[in-house]
Amino acid sequence: MPSHDVLIIGAGLAGQRAALAAAQAGASVAILSKVHPVRSHSVAAAGGINAAISVADDWRSHAYDTVKGSDFLGDQDAIEVMCSEAPGEVMHLEHIGVTFHRNEKGELDLRAFGGASVKRTAYVADITGQAILHVLYEQLMKHHEQVDRYEEWFVTSLLRDDAGACCGVVARDVRSGRMEVFSAKNTILACGGAGQAYSPTTNALIVTGDGIAQAYRLGAPLMDMEMVQYHPTTLVENGLLITEGARGEGAVLLNAEGERFMEKYAPNKMELASRDVVSRAEQTEILEGRGVGTHGEGIYLDITMVPRKRTLEALREIVNIGKDFAGVDITREPIMIRPGQHYIMGGVKTDVDGATSVPGLYAAGEVACVSVHGGNRLGANSLLDTLIFGRRAGEHAAARAASMAMPAVSDEQLHEDVALIDGLIARPREAGAGGGPAPRRVSEIKAELGETMNQYVAVYREQAGLEKALEVVQRLREESERAYIDDRGTVFNQDVLGAIELGYMLDCAQAIVVAAIERKESRGAQFRTDYPERNDEQWLKHIDITLNGDGPAVSYSPVTITQWQPEERKY
Ligand SMILES: Cc1cc2nc3c(=O)[nH]c(=O)nc-3n(C[C@H](O)[C@H](O)[C@H](O)COP(=O)(O)OP(=O)(O)OC[C@H]3O[C@@H](n4cnc5c(N)ncnc54)[C@H](O)[C@@H]3O)c2cc1C
């Protein structure tokens, strides 16, 4: 049985940064990922990473912008940690080889991003995530004697010992179908978000909420789950992202009347107001009949005023996306976009060292909720979150491991997971002899889940729609228990993994809807048309969701306020 001081599930930016930190602290480390590490979803990150590195900036200004962006739901102690450590982290990346863009004076160049009071986003064209991920992977190679890599291994369950601590995982080798137990003194979840619970989404097919659901099933509370970010600029055709970097470079939003409508909603920041504000403005224009496109379903993003040379240099990926996926040359004509699901602000509740309430279990990156994003994440703060809290979790877990013995782990869960997968593969495709509805395909259930979430739990929400969504999610959970798959083999059986992922997405969706029903106010990404005002008196608090028996139980925890008292948010 493989045994490690620190076992990291996920090899995106949070996981790789945690692995590097734990290895440098002297721990024996394993990093395990269901896809090859550099195919992790972090590779898609485009526009950049925030840090107050310019002489005109200060980390406190970054922290205040983040607190305001969060609609005062973010925990200010955690935000202070993230923003004060940001400049050091970005310089560290530069020193290990990330080729950040430089200006004519040879200084690190910074671009404007939404909700920021100054330019503070460092970038590598519009492939920032890819650039950082590849450099971190290279760094991990240097530590190969301490860091074992399990590439294309899929975790099916977290393990808990008799004392209630997390002591490892059960995982399946995707290549062969072999199942194995891994024991660990500490396990760090770095499994990313849950965007695939929505359709469409900007997130890759692998972003299925595995870590969030696994921690929840183990008893760890989830926090801020109602806060789901809709990004203002996603392609109408398929939900692909057009980075906020485009607006940072000067692109504007236009309605069917050719009006730059953000003047009405955010006269100071215009297109660079926070994402929740811009997405709501676009959705309002669409709902009130001023959308563009055959059915008025979109908004124009016009970048033609930015010099073509600059667009081709700094935004080359979205030039390609425009051409390949919408048939539009964005350097010459506007492109049709609309708000689309992008990011989950909620996740596994942790402290600033990534520790959850379960001893030995840590979480970092999009899977976690520290909470630095509160009700709304500022663009370019997620890469920062993954790196700062990935590193801190790695360091903390390594230090904890130094004074522990390796836990004893049983095979019980392994046998349960093997039986579950065998049962899943053997499921019939027809209705049983007793009648009842015929089982559905996993992919059909996933599609209905995504469409339901996008219809009822999106930019605008209200009680009846949320209740409808909860009802559908409950029915889909029942149907998922009988859902069938086609592939009955063992080698690279993605069908089996898809069925397991569906269960994770349903857990996440249920937690999101329950929390959205609970929060009877409008704050950040949660806009309730039946409760349109922010209500600090009753709702300046986090909603925590814990698994109680078979279903979610709701409780609350306080928001940490250090130096910035809540005030009305205007852009
Ligand atoms: C198109 C796009 C552009 C973006 N651009 C930016 C940007 O410019 N700036 C910014 O700050 N943010 C950006 N974001 C957000 C940011 O990219 C993500 O929030 C961040 O990269 C998440 O990193 P992570 O390490 O937490 O998870 P991920 O990179 O998603 O990695 C998750 C890892 O977990 C593994 N995993 C998951 N489940 C299992 C399992 N069951 N078993 C084993 N392994 C598992 C996966 O294989 C993967 O290695 C963007 C997001 C999108 C969608």
pTM over 0.95: yes
Residue 538 reports pLDDT greater than 90: yes
pLDDT band at 436 (very low <50, low <70, confident <90, very high): confident
What are the structure tokens assigned to 374, written together?
């509160």
pLDDT digits (tens, 9 = 90+) for 201-259: 999 999 999 999 999 999 999 999 999 999 999 999 899 999 999 999 999 999 999 99
The amino acid at 230: Y
**Are the C-beta atoms of residues 121 and 243 closer than 8 Å to each other?**
no
Looking at residue 438, its pLDDT comes to: 87
Atom of ligand 1 nearest to the CA of 13: 25
| Mean pLDDT of the chain, nearest integer | 96
Half-sphere exposure of residue 170: CA atoms within 13 angstroms, side-chain side: 21
The H or E element that residue 135 is part of is helix 128-142
Residue 434 has pLDDT above 70, yes or no: no
Query: Given this structure, which CATH class describes domain 3-227+345-402?
Result: alpha beta
pLDDT range class, residue 509, cuts 50, 70, 90: very high
Which residues, judged by CB distance below 6 Å to any ligand atom, belong to the binding site of ligand 1? Answer: 9-15, 32-35, 40-42, 44-49, 128-129, 154-155, 190-192, 202-203, 206-207, 210-211, 241, 342-343, 365-367, 380-383, 386
Question: Which residue's CA is minimally distant from atom 52 of ligand 1?
Answer: 45
Q: What is the pLDDT of residue 430?
A: 82
**Residue type, position 191, single letter:** C
Q: Do domains 232-339 and 412-535 have the same CATH topology?
A: no
Ligand 1 midpoint to CA 196 (Å): 12
Q: What is the pLDDT of residue 550?
A: 83
Index of the ligand 1 atom closest to the CA of residue 203: 53
Q: Are 1 and 180 in contact (CB under 8 A)?
A: yes
CATH architecture of 412-535: Up-down Bundle (1.20)
For residue 381, give the nearest of 86, 107, 109 by alpha carbon. 86
Percent of the chain with pLDDT over 70: 99
CB distance 226 to 543 below 8 Å: yes
> How far is the centre of ligand 1, averaged over its atoms, from the C-alpha of 548 (Å)?
29
> What separation in Å is there between the alpha carbon of 382 and the centre of ligand 1?
9
Average pLDDT over residues 541-552: 95
Q: Which atom of ligand 1 is nearest to the CA of 192?
A: 27
Task: Pick 232-339's CATH classification: 3.40.50.1100, 3.90.700.10, 3.40.718.10, 3.50.50.60.
Answer: 3.90.700.10
From 16, 370, 449, select the one nearest 194 (Cα to Cα).
449
Q: Which of these, 102, 18, 113, 11, lies nearest to 66 by C-alpha position?
A: 113
Give the 3-state DSSP-derived string for 490-553, with helices as H, strands as E and coil as C. Answer: CCCCHHHHHHHHHHHHHHHHHHHHHHHHHCCCCECCEEECCECCCCHHHHCEEEEEEEECCEEE
pLDDT digits (tens, 9 = 90+) for 70-129: 999 999 999 999 999 999 999 999 999 999 999 999 999 999 999 999 999 999 999 999
Instruction: Please write the tens of the pLDDT for every residue from 261-305.
Output: 999 999 999 999 999 999 999 999 999 999 999 999 999 999 999
Domain definitions of the chain by residue range: 3-227+345-402, 232-339, 412-535
Using 50, 70 and 90 to split pLDDT, how confident is the model at 429? confident
Distances (CA, A) of 195 to 77, 141, 200, 314, 341: 27, 30, 9, 27, 7
pLDDT for 435 beyond 80: no
Q: Tell the residue number behind the tokens 């069908």, with chain if given.
A: 495
Q: Is the pLDDT of residue 513 over 70?
A: yes
pLDDT surpassing 70 at residue 433: no
On whether the CB atoms of residues 310 and 197 are closer than 8 A, the answer is no
pLDDT value at residue 358: 98
